[in-house]
């Protein structure tokens, strides 16, 4: 989902991984690998470069000159297999190429992307499909037409900006250059591809979804397998030439039920891997399914929790999403520059914003954390800047922002976080957000501390938040600076040591500056959340990792509920009176 000044983290079926090794995974990773001496240069690069040189020579000499041009072709091969309730829904393989042309008119200081008041002048556009054949003449013709379109749009935008800029008050943030100067990069890596036999996966999605039919509480089930190989070819007028590829595999499990009052109950799980040999076996999938089924059946029958404010313990996966929403989006560089944004942290560099035992990095060079592949890994961002490890918070003190090529005063360069979904314009986005702590406790100690906080505050109970669907946050100045995180599995924890009680209908809400200061301790084992984050530049893959966190005060409200009641009849195979059908 994409909203103006609002971000949504969409898990698209995620899973829990407990990681035993904390020291090794957080070791700073090496920079992007050097070119592979055996890699073959694609003929696409030569065609892109030839048309770039021809276009730049002419367009840079216009009355409103093009000072920067970039061409990117993304070649995507994708396999999708999905099933529902024991039957095959879809099985296909596709391949396409997408051309994106970036033309900037004006100068690095002031160009056609400059924001005047509340109106954003967009650079680029949705792009255009190009042929799969490596025919240079056909390809150059498509580039020629798209370049002309983008130059004309940039020329018109710059005229409007120069006119509007004369009557608008310029803020300090807005006086920063519109585009950063970066060193050109050259990397020719091997192209990647996938060869997937869909037949076994078709059998798998039938079997995995059929198993969910054993529960009368499950109204619907969907299992999806996807595999993707993506090769990127990029040239720019600054001298950058890139060729690199990335492969991803994912298995997503989803089930849906309904509580008696109509509230939707969803459970998700996903497996992510990059090497075919790391695909989950049937045993791992069925173990996950058993957990999902048990939790859904419990949630359907669980009572609704009332709005409360009090102590809470978030497991690592829930804490990871908490930091993504509460901190991560407000540390994205372009939000410090935009006058319509809340700019929560813009003036807080060098100040303490978190307890001193917490540090946060965004490290897109990390392929894995322990045994878990991280979705936020990449070699180069979508503006051709190498992936980097960025220290955002050091022992509670804000140090840096996630930066694209839209610089800030005091932060003149990108640190490799310019990202976008195909067809959107890159902005600064999160990648692999990693939370570290120097004040760690075991799970048993955290629980004991939670109970002590409950007693000290005179509360009837605290909350243990064990699983989470995602969340969203408002960052715009004209809206409340608030966040909402959407838990799925929540327990009441009682101070007298009684058994925990499963509850439903809980949403975490709050404001960032207050919420971040309430963290009093963390666990000793990081957990990973892999998902897809939707914001201004579309949906991008991200990861967040955190140990469990104990907070002295967390506000929760009732979850939005549907007015639809559950089906009047049970599923056919579970109706012992009306049917003789089999599960």
d(CA 275, CA 271): 12
User: If pLDDT is split at 50, 70 and 90, which confidence band does 469 have?
Assistant: confident
What percentage of the chain carries pLDDT values higher than 70? 86
Give tens-digit pLDDT for 67-82: 999 999 999 999 999 9
Q: The tokens of 159 are what? A: 């005229």
Give tens-digit pLDDT for 255-311: 999 999 889 999 999 999 999 999 999 999 999 999 999 999 999 999 999 999 999
The predicted pLDDT at position 397 comes to 97
Domain assignment present for residue 572? The answer is no
Question: Does 363 share its domain with 391?
Answer: yes
Domain assignment present for residue 491? The answer is yes
Q: The tokens of 101 are what? A: 């042309």
Q: Does position 206 have pLDDT exceeding 90, yes or no?
A: yes
Domain assignment present for residue 581? The answer is no
Range(s) of the domain holding residue 337: 6-30+303-558
Domain assignment present for residue 563? The answer is no
The predicted pLDDT at position 331 comes to 93
Question: Does 264 share its domain with 309?
Answer: no
User: What does the pLDDT average to over 433-461?
Assistant: 96
The predicted pLDDT at position 10 comes to 45
- Cα distances (Å, whole numbers) of residue 399 to 75, 178, 345: 37, 22, 10
Q: The tokens of 398 are what? A: 């804000």
The predicted pLDDT at position 53 comes to 98
- Cα distances (Å, whole numbers) of residue 186 to 63, 234, 383, 417, 441: 31, 10, 13, 18, 46
- Helix, coil or strand: residue 296: helix
User: What's the number of domains the chain is made of?
Assistant: 2
| φ, ψ at 417 (rounded to 5°) | -120, 25
Among candidates 559, 557, 3, 8, which has minimal Cα distance to 325?
8
Domain assignment present for residue 576? The answer is no
Give tens-digit pLDDT for 164-177: 765 454 556 668 89
- Cα distances (Å, whole numbers) of residue 203 to 209, 213, 215, 229: 10, 16, 21, 23
The predicted pLDDT at position 174 comes to 64
Asked if residues 235 and 48 have their Cβ atoms less than 8 Å apart, the reply is yes
Question: Does 212 share its domain with 136?
Answer: yes
Give tens-digit pLDDT for 523-568: 999 999 999 998 888 999 999 999 999 999 999 887 776 667 888 8
With tokens 């991984």, the residue in question is: 17
Give tens-digit pLDDT for 347-365: 899 999 999 999 999 999 9
Give tens-digit pLDDT for 115-136: 876 555 454 567 999 999 999 9
The predicted pLDDT at position 474 comes to 60
The predicted pLDDT at position 576 comes to 73
Q: Does position 583 have pLDDT exceeding 80, yes or no?
A: no
Asked if residues 417 and 180 have their Cβ atoms less than 8 Å apart, the reply is no
User: If pLDDT is split at 50, 70 and 90, which confidence band does 26 have?
Assistant: very low
User: What does the pLDDT average to over 20-45?
Assistant: 54
| φ, ψ at 424 (rounded to 5°) | -115, 165
**Mean pLDDT taken over the chain:** 88
Domain assignment present for residue 131? The answer is yes
Q: The tokens of 291 are what? A: 């957990």
Q: Which residues of 63-86 are buried (b: 16+ CB within 10 A; e: fewer)?
A: ebebbbbbbbbbbebbbbbbbbbb
Question: Does 421 share its domain with 379?
Answer: yes
Asked if residues 223 and 252 have their Cβ atoms less than 8 Å apart, the reply is yes
Among candidates 278, 222, 219, 157, which has minimal Cα distance to 572?
219
Question: Does 352 share its domain with 471?
Answer: yes
- CATH code at position 270: 3.30.2290.10
Query: What pairs with residue 269 in β-bridges?
Result: 253
Q: The tokens of 528 are what? A: 């990973």
Give tens-digit pLDDT for 216-234: 999 999 999 999 999 999 9
Among candidates 225, 50, 218, 214, which has minimal Cα distance to 143?
50
Q: Does position 215 have pLDDT exceeding 50, yes or no?
A: yes
């Amino acid at each position: 989902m994409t909203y103006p000044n609002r971000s949504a983290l969409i898990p698209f079926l995620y899973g829990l991984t407990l990681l035993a090794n904390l020291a090794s995974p957080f070791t700073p990773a090496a920079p992007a690998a050097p070119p592979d001496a055996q890699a073959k240069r694609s003929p696409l690069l030569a065609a892109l470069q030839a048309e770039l040189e021809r276009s730049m020579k002419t367009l840079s000499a216009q009355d409103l000159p093009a000072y920067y041009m970039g061409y990117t072709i993304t070649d995507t091969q994708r396999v999708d297999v999905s099933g529902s309730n024991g039957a095959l829904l879809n099985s296909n393989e596709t391949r396409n190429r997408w051309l994106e042309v970036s033309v900037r008119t004006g100068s690095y200081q002031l160009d056609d992307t400059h924001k005047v008041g509340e109106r954003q002048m967009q650079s680029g556009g949705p792009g255009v499909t190009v042929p799969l054949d490596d025919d240079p003449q056909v390809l150059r013709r498509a580039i020629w037409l798209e370049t002309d379109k983008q130059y004309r749009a940039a020329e018109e935008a710059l005229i409007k900006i120069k006119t509007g800029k004369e009557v608008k008050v310029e803020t300090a943030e807005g006086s920063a250059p519109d585009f950063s100067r970066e060193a050109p990069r050259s990397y020719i890596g091997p192209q990647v591809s996938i060869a997937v036999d869909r037949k076994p996966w078709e059998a798998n999605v039938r079997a995995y979804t059929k198993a969910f039919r054993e529960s009368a509480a499950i109204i619907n089930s969907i299992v999806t397998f996807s595999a993707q190989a993506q090769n990127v070819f990029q040239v720019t007028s600054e001298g950058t030439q890139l060729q690199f590829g990335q492969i991803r595999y994912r298995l997503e499990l989803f089930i849906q039920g309904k509580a008696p009052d109509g509230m939707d109950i969803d459970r998700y799980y996903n497996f992510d891997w990059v090497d075919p040999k790391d695909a989950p076996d049937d045993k791992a999938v069925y173990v996950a399914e058993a957990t999902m089924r048990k939790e859904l059946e419990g949630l359907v029958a669980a009572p609704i929790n009332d709005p409360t404010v009090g102590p809470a313990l978030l497991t690592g996966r829930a804490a990871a999403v908490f930091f993504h929403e509460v901190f991560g989006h407000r540390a994205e560089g372009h939000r410090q520059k935009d006058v319509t944004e809340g700019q929560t942290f813009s003036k807080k560099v060098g100040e303490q914003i978190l307890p001193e035992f917490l540090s946060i990095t965004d490290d897109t060079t990390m392929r894995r954390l322990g045994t878990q592949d991280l979705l936020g890994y990449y070699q180069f961002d979508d503006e051709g800047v190498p992936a980097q490890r960025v220290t955002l918070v050091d022992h509670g003190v804000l140090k840096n922002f996630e930066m694209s090529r839209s610089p800030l005063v005091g932060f003149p360069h990108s640190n490799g976080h310019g990202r976008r979904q195909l067809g959107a314009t890159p902005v600064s986005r999160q990648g692999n957000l990693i939370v570290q702590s120097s004040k760690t406790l075991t799970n048993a100690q955290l629980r004991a501390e939670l109970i002590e906080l409950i007693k000290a505050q005179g509360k009837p109970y605290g909350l243990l938040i064990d699983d989470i669907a995602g969340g969203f946050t408002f960052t715009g100045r004209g809206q409340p600076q608030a966040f909402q995180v959407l838990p799925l599995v929540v327990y009441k924890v009682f101070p007298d040591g009684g058994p925990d009680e499963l509850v439903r209908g809980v949403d975490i809400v709050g404001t960032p500056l207050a919420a971040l200061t309430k963290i009093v301790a963390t666990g000793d084992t990081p957990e990973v959340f892999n998902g897809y984050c939707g914001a201004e530049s579309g949906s991008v893959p991200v990861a967040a990792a955190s140990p469990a966190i104990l907070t002295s005060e967390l506000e929760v409200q009732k979850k939005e509920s549907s007015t639809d009641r559950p089906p009047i009849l049970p599923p056919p195979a579970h109706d012992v009176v009306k049917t003789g059908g089999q599960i």
